[in-house]
């Protein structure tokens, strides 16, 4: 007797007890809660079995043909190589049941551009989505060799596998909402994501309790993926510095600190260090704090044992450490409204930032290799630091124009203010101009693979800097906002949609220089997170 309604997919014990099952694999959590072994689930063939009576099949095909004819009258036919307008799968509770006939195409994984027509298959194919999570995340992070090596060594166990499930399911959910026959699918999806997040965090905590836990590359990579996961879900704006992204980034710093300097003496340790340390530096720029105090020692070791292709990254990282020191120092002076200390440190702070910028420019002019020309990510990270550093120098100059005993003349302060505006806006233009290069293949529809997600993630912070800092031009803000909206909607990075200016409680003197009324000031009030 065939199923005539919507058959339950619950495990055998939950169906017998008539309770809701969470459909966990290999066993549900309700069985675990009652301390019994989950007996498993019914065969998927039983759930989709249909009466194979010839007359029934004939009627079904007739209805399908009539429906296709109606659709052809109202819509133009789909071009070759694109998805069929009729869903070829029903995704529910983490499983996809695919049914094919001669007119149906296989739903591709994210990244496939051409679907493959298949002949009739007499029975449905069922495969759990987690079988694709590791390949997808390796496609996303295709340029991170150390991540590929970790999965190659330990492909099935450990926190990194749970992180792959969490990241991949979130990405696929964001970019391509699943077709579901159940109204409660969204709730079930969030519950499943919560389960994988809990298992990932639990696995990381368990690993870090072991003596060598912080030295495991898979643990370091997992925390890095967790930080990027928070960008996918857009949590950076929550609870300020207590947001999960900030907590995961601080976790990266703690692990790097525990690993010490020996990890920097090998090529493998260096490749694991850079992506994590760059994220730590972004966190310092975002939160207006200084880079870790160990930065000088770490970067000094790298400078003394430099590998090919590291020069540009090293110089940019050194510049960011100087820039974060300048912005943190100025912010403290402004919040304390300490005019005397601001005057005393003004020339030193200006010189520090100018000297750091000079070192980067000298390296670019004299470098024998051209790797820095291709590293758009590090260039944009550099320009975002320029925006933050010089916007704070701008506010410091504004602040001192209101200090009557100041030995620095108004002419000098206003000249410095003009220079800061030029630097901020030039850096903002560089970032905006890099968008077609970074996101062009995606925007043109030429590349829909998950690997563009990594490029989009790396553009979120530089574009955010252009958008939220008041000294950038209005048209630059508009272009940055449009790019962020594209990243959020087309690539699935929800943080790009949650980027909005928030005002710092800074003195009015820092926002408007003496002699210019607010309405005459071409610089909008400074905004930041």
For residue 503, the 8-state DSSP code is B
- Order of strands, edge to edge, in the sheet holding 89-92? 89-92, 95-98, 125-128
Please give the structure tokens belonging to residue 430. 């560089």
**Predicted pLDDT at 344:** 97
The DSSP bridge partners found for residue 105 are 117
Phi, psi (degrees; rounded to nearest 5) at 444: -85, -5
pLDDT tens, residue by residue, 186-208? 667 778 888 889 999 999 999 99
Distance of CA 162 to the CA centre of its chain: 17
pLDDT tens, residue by residue, 53-104? 555 545 555 665 655 555 455 444 433 333 333 333 333 334 433 333 333 3
Buried b (16+ CB within 10 A) or exposed e, 463-484: bbbbbbbbbbbeebbebbbebb
Task: Give first-to-last CA distance, the chain, whole Å.
Answer: 62
- As a whole number of angstroms, the distance between CA 278 and CA 457 comes to 13
* Helix spans in 209-306 (H): 217-233, 244-259, 267-287, 295-304
- As a whole number of angstroms, the distance between CA 363 and CA 369 comes to 11
Q: Do 428 and 473 meet the contact criterion of CB atoms below 8 Å apart? A: yes
C-alpha distances (whole Å) from 348 to each of 278, 339, 392 are 26, 15, 14
pLDDT tens over the chain, length 529 residues? 444 456 777 888 888 888 888 887 778 888 877 778 888 877 544 444 344 455 554 555 566 565 555 545 544 443 333 333 333 333 333 443 333 333 333 333 444 444 444 444 444 445 566 777 888 888 888 777 778 777 776 655 689 889 988 998 888 888 765 434 334 456 677 788 888 899 999 999 999 999 999 999 889 999 999 999 999 888 776 445 678 999 999 999 999 999 999 999 998 899 899 999 999 999 999 999 999 999 999 999 999 999 988 999 999 999 999 999 999 999 999 999 999 999 999 999 999 999 999 999 999 888 765 555 458 889 999 999 999 999 999 999 999 999 999 999 999 999 999 999 999 999 999 999 999 887 776 666 655 667 788 888 999 999 999 999 989 999 999 999 999 998 988 888 888 888 766 666 788 899 888 876 444 455 554 455 4
pLDDT tens, residue by residue, 284-300? 999 999 999 999 999 99
C-alpha distances (whole Å) from 7 to each of 21, 48, 95, 321, 330 are 13, 8, 15, 60, 65
**Predicted pLDDT at 503:** 61
Q: Among 29, 2, 3, 30, which residue's Cα sits nearest to residue 17?
A: 30
Query: How many CB atoms neighbour CB 328 within 10 A?
Result: 17
Query: How many CB atoms neighbour CB 373 within 10 A?
Result: 11
C-alpha distances (whole Å) from 378 to each of 98, 264, 327 are 43, 20, 20
- As a whole number of angstroms, the distance between CA 16 and CA 259 comes to 51
* Helix spans in 6-158 (H): 12-17, 29-33, 44-48, 54-74, 133-140, 145-153
């Amino acid at each position: 007797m065939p199923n005539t309604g919507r058959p339950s997919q619950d495990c055998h014990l939950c169906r017998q007890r008539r309770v809701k099952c969470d459909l966990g694999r290999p066993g549900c959590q309700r069985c675990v809660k009652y301390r019994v072994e989950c007996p498993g689930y019914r065969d998927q063939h039983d759930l989709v079995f249909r009466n194979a009576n010839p007359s029934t099949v004939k009627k079904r095909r007739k209805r399908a043909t009539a429906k296709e004819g109606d659709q052809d009258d109202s819509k133009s036919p789909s071009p070759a190589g694109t998805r069929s307008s009729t869903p070829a799968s029903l995704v529910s509770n983490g499983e996809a049941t695919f049914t094919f006939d001669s007119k149906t195409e296989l739903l591709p994984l994210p990244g496939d551009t051409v679907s493959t027509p298949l002949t009739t298959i007499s029975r449905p194919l069922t495969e759990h989505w987690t079988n694709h999570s590791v390949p997808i995340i390796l496609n996303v992070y295709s340029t991170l060799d150390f991540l590929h090596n970790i999965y190659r060594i330990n492909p099935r166990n450990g926190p990194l596998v749970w992180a792959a499930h969490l990241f991949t399911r979130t990405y696929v959910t964001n970019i391509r909402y699943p077709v579901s026959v159940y109204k409660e699918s969204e709730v079930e999806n969030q519950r499943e994501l919560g389960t994988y997040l809990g298992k990932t965090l639990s696995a990381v905590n368990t690993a870090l309790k072991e003596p060598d836990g912080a030295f495991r590359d898979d643990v370091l990579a997992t925390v890095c993926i967790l930080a990027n996961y928070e960008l996918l879900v857009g949590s950076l704006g929550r609870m300020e510095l207590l947001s999960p992204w900030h907590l995961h980034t601080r976790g990266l710093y703690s692990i790097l600190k525990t690993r010490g300097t020996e990890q920097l003496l090998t090529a493998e340790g260096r490749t694991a260090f850079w992506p994590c340390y760059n994220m730590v530096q972004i966190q310092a720029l975002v939160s207006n704090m200084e880079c870790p105090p160990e930065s000088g020692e770490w970067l000094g070791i790298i400078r003394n044992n430099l590998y090919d292709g590291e020069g540009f990254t090293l110089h940019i990282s050194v510049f960011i450490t100087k820039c974060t020191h300048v912005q943190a120092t100025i912010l403290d002076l402004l919040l304390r409204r300490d005019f005397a200390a601001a005057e005393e440190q003004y020339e030193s702070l200006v010189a520090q930032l100018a000297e750091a910028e000079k070192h980067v420019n000298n390296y670019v002019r004299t470098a024998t290799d051209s790797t820095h020309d291709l590293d758009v990510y590090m260039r944009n990270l550099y320009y975002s630091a320029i925006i933050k550093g010089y916007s704070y120098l701008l506010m410091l100059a504004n602040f001192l124009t209101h200090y009557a005993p100041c030995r620095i003349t108004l002419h000098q302060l206003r000249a410095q203010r003009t220079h800061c505006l030029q630097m901020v806006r030039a850096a903002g233009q560089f970032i905006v101009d890099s968008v077609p290069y970074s996101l062009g293949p995606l925007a043109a529809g030429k590349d829909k693979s998950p690997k563009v997600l990594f490029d989009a993630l790396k553009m979120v912070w530089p574009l955010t800097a252009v958008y939220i800092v008041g000294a950038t031009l209005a048209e630059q803000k508009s272009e940055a906002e449009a790019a962020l909206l594209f990243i959020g909607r087309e690539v699935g990075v929800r943080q790009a949609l949650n980027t909005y200016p928030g005002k710092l409680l800074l003195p009015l003197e820092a926002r408007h220089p003496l002699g210019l009324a607010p309405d005459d000031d071409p610089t909008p009030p400074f905004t930041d997170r």
